Amino acid sequence: MEFPTIHTNFWDAVIAVPVVMILTQLIKVFFKTRKTFVPFVALLIGLFISVFISHRGHIVAGLFMGWFYGYAAVGSYASLKTSIIAYLNKK
């Protein structure tokens, strides 16, 4: 089996992950999603964006990068939230 060549570019680092974060937060606010389902929602959004927008025409690359979009957004949100809480508790 030959693995696809996957290029990480400006779209991946600067646009896709923040878009996943923003859409996840909007869905969480407007649809009152339970906290336990939020990472799954982020993963679905990441997969959707990757498969249908950024890597259309190559399903393996779309699934691979979509997984990273979703979980990079989850990790970035968790890191930001932890940093803010730690800063507020320090004050």
Q: What is the pLDDT of residues 2-37, one digit of tens each?
A: 776 666 667 776 889 999 999 999 999 999 989 999
Domain ranges of the chain: 34-91
What confidence score (pLDDT) does residue 82 get? Answer: 96
From 75, 78, 27, select the one nearest 48 (Cα to Cα).
Answer: 27
Average pLDDT over residues 37-66: 91
Residue 50: CB partners within 8 Å, gap ≥ 6? 16, 61, 62, 63, 65, 66, 69
Residue type at 5? T
Query: For the whole model, what pTM was predicted?
Result: 0.82
Q: Tokens 């990480």, residue?
A: 8
